[in-house]
Each structure stands twice: as C-alpha cells, then as structure tokens.
Chain A
Amino acid sequence: MDIIKKALEEGRTSLSEYESKLVLAQYRIPVTKERLVNSQEEAVRAAQEIGYPVVLKGCSPDITHKTESGLLWKDIRNDEEVGQAYQDISTRMKDEKGAVLVQEMVKGERELALGLIRDPQFGPCVMFGLGGIFTEILKDVSFRLAPIEKQDALEMFKEIKAYRILEEVRGMPPVDQDRLAQMLVDLGHLGLEHEGVKEVDINPVIISGTQPLAVDALIVLEQDA
C-alpha cells in the first residue's frame, strides 16, 4: 500500500488520522466522511458537502492527542463556526506541518475500540473492547491472534464484561455484529499483509444506529520491519 510505503520511506513512525483512515477504508473498514483542507474557504465548502453538523480536527502525523492540544472542535453547525474553528486550529498548529480535517459528526451513545498490535512472539493480534476513555481505564478488552475467523470475532465480543452494550439496550437497537466482526477480520488481514504496521488504534468506533463507524484512527509504523 502506497501510503504506508511512502511514510516508511520518509522515516515516519505513524500515519495521520486522515492517512490511517484511507488505509482502513482500503480494508473495507467503514470510516467517517471527511476532507483534508488547507484554507478556510475549502473548509466551508467541505462542511457544506459533508452536511452539518461537522467536526474540525487538526491533522498531522506528529499529533496523536488532539483533544489535549485543543485541536478538536465538535458539533459545528454553520459556515461561520467553521471559519472560527478553522482559524483557531490553524493558529495552534502554526509550528507544525499539517492540515485541518473536516469530518461528519457521528451521533451515537456507544463507543467501542478496535486495535492491532504486532507481538514479537505471536505476530499480529487484534483487540476488541470498550472505547473512548474507558479503553484504558477499564481494560475491558479481548485479544486474538491474526488471522481470525468471524466466529473468533463473535467470541471476542462475548468475552468482554460490557458485552451487553452490543445488544438492544435503553431503546438503542442491537449492533450489527456481523459487520463489526468483519471489521476485526479485515483488521487482522491488514496486520498480516503489512509488516511495517506495528500498532493500530481505531478508537472510538461509534455505533450509529446499528452500524459501527471508525471515527478516529491511528496507525503506528515500525521502521525496521
């Protein structure tokens, strides 16, 4: 895959959110509608095309913690707000190379996490668990060695304590588990086919209606692979 190859050649150790999602999309993993823009005008146009409300994020391979750096503006409802957000983010990012990402705002109460790590002994392993801020706090996650089959993914869901979050709960419809399982299977293939991919975080995966959607993503690269 050209994005990974190019980044490795440039000596980088990670892909930006935008690049990460391009890679995931090639593995049929559903990602948010988004555009990378370099001016306020482009930002407004992108927001109009995607449809309000939108999210604006600073996007650069050097930035892995957008919330902490004030580079994330959520629930933007009109052109004027896009302008403000664009200006604010680009001011904060002035020392770094990068652009601004205009992204659809995904609504959903349920946040999950999908991940991949390359274990030195066991090779690429996929992870499934609770997403958002809970991933690291509760560590309610399950692992499998890639490649996995759909049945493995379904078993991973059942292994986490919060399994019921995938069922019909508080008026929310059950999650499309087949789709979610396929995402894990495909993520395993990504790990197997690209030695240079060291780790992947897809967090959060937000459940929109019944459908899982990758809202943020990070691919970490390994130079010596």
Chain B
Amino acid sequence: MDLRANFQALFYPESVALIGASNQRNKWGYRILDNIITGGFKGKIYPINYKEKEIHGLKAFSSLKEVPDPIDLAVIVVPVRSVPETFEACIEKGVKAAILITAGFGEIGNEGKRLEEALTVRAREGGIIFTGPNCNGLMNRGIRLHAQMISLFPKRGPISMVTQSGNIGTSILARGIRNGLGFSKYVSSGNEALLRNEDIIEFYGEDPETEIIITYLEGVKNGQRFFEVCKKVALKKPILVMKAGRTRGGARAANSHTGSIAGPDEIFDAGCRQVGVLRCESLDELFDLAAALTRQPLPRGPRVGIVTSGGGWGVLASDACEKRGLDVTPISERSISELGRFLPPWWSKGNPIDLVAGMNNRNEVFEACISILFKNDEVDSIMLLGIGLILEQKRKKGYTLDETEKKMMDAEMKIADTILGLLDRYKRPIITATDLNMHENPYENPLFKKLREGGVLVYSDPDRAAAVISAMYRRYQYSRRSKSYAV
C-alpha cells in the first residue's frame, strides 16, 4: 500500500464525494456539505444520495458508480448498517482515502467492535486509509478543505491538530478563532480503527505547512509506536499533548515493588519527558503554549525578568516561576543603575521590576526596562504584567478626554508595537499577563486586539504565563539535547 498517495488523497484531494449527502438542513449530510462549500473548497464536490437530483445547488449522484470522474476522498455519513456496502463501493471506485463520520462502532460494544475490525480489514485489502469511525471530520486550511461537522473556519497558520475527541477539537479550534490563531490541518481521529493518532503525527512531522503539532488523547493503542513516532518528530517540531484519564489506572497486579508503584499515567508521563513531548495539564495550558510557540522565540535559559505595574502580581509571578523551575534572577548593579534613569525614585531596584503604579511614559519605561535586561543579558525571557487597564476607564456620558488623557491612551496603545518590535530585535520571549477580570471585554480591549493581530496573546494570570515560559524552556532544552545527539 503506497501510503504517500493515500495521505495525499486524504489531505489534498482534487475530488471529494459526500456519501449520505442530504437536502435536509438538520442532517449532518447537509451540514458537512455546507461546510465544504462555505469553506471554499476549489476541487470537485460530488454529493451522493440515491433519490435526490440536486443537493445544495450541486448535481447529486445516486451512487459512487454514477460519478464519471475518479474520487480521491470519500466523506461517509450514511447510517451504520450501510457503511460496509459503502466501503465496498469506495473500493470498487478506487477511492484512496475516507473520513468515516458515522458512529455506532467500537464505542458501543463488542458487536460494533467486530464491525469496525471487519471494515478495517476490508480497507487494508482495498487500499483505502480512513479516519474514524465516530469522528467529526478533517480540515486542510491550505486548500480550504473543511470536511467537518462543525462550522469553524480558522485562519491559515502553522498549527496542526489531531484529536481523539471531536468535541475537544472543536473547543480548541473555537479558542483559536477567538484569539486569531492560525491552523494548517485538523483531524478528528475518533475510534482510530485504522489511522491512529501517531500516524497523523508522523504525517505532520513531514508536512512542510505544519510547524506546531497539538494532540488530545484518551488512550494509546500501541504505546511503543506512539513514542517512537513522537521521538522522531519532536526532533523537528514541538508536539503538545493533552492526555485525559490521569485519574483512572491505579495500581496494577504486581509481584514486585517496582510493579506496584508504576501506574500507567506515570509511564506515559515519563515517555513524554523522554522523547521531548510537551504534556499539558489542561486545555488552557495546551492552547496558551500553542499560541506562544506560534509567535515567540524560545527562551535559551531559565532566567525570567518580571516587569510589573503593581507589587502583588509581581510576587505571584515570582512564586509561579520558581514553582515551575524558572529563575527570577537577581540583576546586576550596572543594570539597576541603568534602569534607575527611566524609573521613578521609588522603584523596587531589583527583579521583579515594580513600577508601583507609575503612570507616566509607561510605554517608554517598559521599552527601556526590557531592552536593558535583554541587552545586558540579565534574563532569557520577560514576563510583562498589567498592561492595558488604563484603556478601560469608565466615563460618564459626554465626558471628553483632555490632551493629557489622550496622550496617556495613545502611549498605552504603543505598548503593542513596542513588544512586537522587541521580540524581533532581541529574539527572546516577552510573555504578557493581565487580570482579565478587570476588563469589560478582554477580546475588545484595543491594546489586546492589536497584540493579538501581531500574534501575541495576553494571558489571564501570571501562573499561566509562567507555565508557558517553563514549557518553552523545556522545548529549548530538548531541541538542544537532540542537536547534540544528531549525527
């Protein structure tokens, strides 16, 4: 089986057949077709339905056989009992790849499992690869292929995802859209009857459009192969994993002390560390990290400089950094005296650099602080806290801003350009966090919007920011380590 051609058909089809297409708008056979059309797919689309003449403005065919052209990819939404005959029709037609949306297989019990296994055997014999069953579709943003149940159309970017849960996948895509993050590919792998998580990760590893790989897992069918693939791919690209089911497992029947201590989750965790996979604890962490990797350079060391508008958050940030193995390092006398030229006399004179609610020239002060710390090689990353609040002042109706206030607002808005400029100049990460609860609507804050357009997210608290820096530093360490092993 020439898998290369199969994967080409799965992700870059020139023709797609939707088997089980429907004119009824409350059917997935309609919704998926609508998403393919709305998504802007440029290839040929063939709705298959045995009684309809036309669906969603496209000529419908009563069966695959009736389609005059070859079909690369079949999207299957027929009822479970019709799936075997649909597979046979696909094999006969020479289809190379399929997305089996239909549920009701291995997830419902032994009978479903047998059916699923039989299908997999037939697919192998017939030279078809397929995702699913029980999945919510596939996306390849580069060719505007949205063969998916959900109507989410993120912008194009470097992130590719494979998820065992379509539900969780949807949640990540939705966050991505809301935060302006770009995606390349999305696969809902469902029951993983044939194509497994690691097969998709392996493909992403070779895919020039994918730079960051994220995956959501509930179980791994072949753990050894999973880690072999990850080991190979993680040398080139970061892999972010969220694995649920930490609490299950428990003690195994063992005759040795070693055996009684080793829970399946400890083993999975160890494997991740070993092959350089970044395991995330929550969807927030997964998303935060993916966003940061999209735009931020990796920190080349554990030293963090904290620049904060107020004291308490600086303290929380220090704790969060230290807890995660980062180093809120003391700064040199030389830098302290250089910083003193830009800061009010009452500043903290150390790391964290606390502006103590200083309101004047904030943009210039932030820029000077970050530049001095980076230029003098005091720190490897910056955590910048408490920006944008000034833009949220409540005003009475009819209140007009005076010149001073206007200047203050303009200066705050300039912080976005400052951060983006410093990222490029010093090639060191600047991670920002602000208490988003203090903002009317964080997504509408003009400063955050501007930063988001530049690819920088503002995190909701220092702990999340510290988690991001720490994971990025682990990624840096692993990439160094793998370099030293490279032949």
Contacts and interface: CB of A to CB of B under 8 A. Distances in A.
Interface of A: 13-14, 64, 113, 115-117, 119, 121-123, 125, 127, 129, 135-136, 139, 141-145, 148-149, 151-152, 155, 159, 198-201, 203, 218, 220
B255 A220 contact: yes
Contacts of A201: 256-258
A122 B273 contact: no
Contacts of B259: 115, 117, 198-199, 220
Interface in B254-279: 254-262, 264, 266-271, 273-274
A139 B262 CA distance: 9
B264 A115 contact: no
A63 to B, nearest CB: 13
B227 interface: yes
9 contacts: A115-B259, A116-B258, A125-B270, A142-B270, A144-B270, A198-B255, A198-B259, A199-B259, A201-B256
B223 interface: yes
Nearest to B262: A117
A199 B254 contact: yes
The main secondary structure of chain B at its interface with chain A is helix
Contacts, number: 88
Closest 9 pairs (CB-CB, A-B): A115-B258, A121-B223, A122-B223, A143-B270, A199-B256, A201-B256, A199-B259, A220-B255, A123-B224
Interface in B200-258: 220, 222-224, 227, 254-258
A152 B478 CA distance: 12
A200 B255 CA distance: 9
The main secondary structure of chain A at its interface with chain B is strand
B255 A145 contact: no
Contacts of B124: none
B211 to A, nearest CB: 26
A145 B254 contact: no
Contacts of B222: 121
B155 interface: no
A151 B268 contact: no
A113 B271 CA distance: 20
Contacts of B255: 13-14, 64, 198-199, 220
Contacts of A143: 262, 266-267, 269-270
B406 interface: no
A44 to B, nearest CB: 33
B268 A122 contact: yes
B481 interface: yes
Contacts of B262: 117, 119, 125, 127, 143
Of A127, A152, A155, the most chain B CB neighbours within 10 A belong to A127
Contacts of B227: 122, 145
A51 B308 CA distance: 67
B53 to A, nearest CB: 51
Interface in B465-487: 481, 485
Contact of A122 (B257, B267, B481): B267
B270 to A, nearest CB: 4
A136 B267 contact: no
Given A143-B262, A143-B270, A148-B274, A121 B220 contact: yes
A220 B223 contact: no
Nearest to A151: B481
A145 B267 contact: yes
A125 B262 CA distance: 9
A136 B274 contact: no
A135 B271 CA distance: 21
B223 A117 contact: no
A135 B481 CA distance: 30
Given A125-B270, A145-B274, A199 B264 contact: no
Interface in B6-45: none
A149 B227 CA distance: 15
Nearest to B221: A121
Contacts of A119: 223, 262, 264, 267
A132 to B, nearest CB: 11
Of B220, B269, B271, the most chain A CB neighbours within 10 A belong to B271
Contacts of A123: 223-224
B483 to A, nearest CB: 13
Contacts of A117: 254, 256, 258-259, 262
B261 A220 contact: no
Contacts of A218: 256
A121 B257 contact: no
A144 B231 CA distance: 13
Contacts of A136: 257, 260-261
A68 to B, nearest CB: 14
A127 B262 CA distance: 9
Nearest to B227: A145
Interface string B130-157: 0000000000000000000000000000
Of A117, A136, A159, the most chain B CB neighbours within 10 A belong to A117
Given A119-B264, A121-B264, 13 more contacts: A64-B255, A116-B258, A117-B259, A121-B220, A127-B261, A135-B261, A143-B267, A145-B267, A145-B274, A152-B274, A200-B256, A200-B258, A220-B256
A122 B275 CA distance: 13
Contact of A125 (B256, B260, B267, B481): B267
B244 to A, nearest CB: 15
B256 A122 contact: no
Contacts of B481: 151
Contacts of A149: 485
Contacts of B254: 117, 199
B257 A145 contact: no
A201 B258 CA distance: 6
Nearest to A114: B258
Of A14, A139, A159, A203, the most chain B CB neighbours within 10 A belong to A139
A13 B224 CA distance: 25
Contacts of A115: 256-259, 261
A145 B264 CA distance: 12
A145 B224 contact: yes
A155 B134 CA distance: 40
A13 B259 CA distance: 14
A149 B257 CA distance: 24
B149 to A, nearest CB: 30
Contacts of B271: 122, 144-145
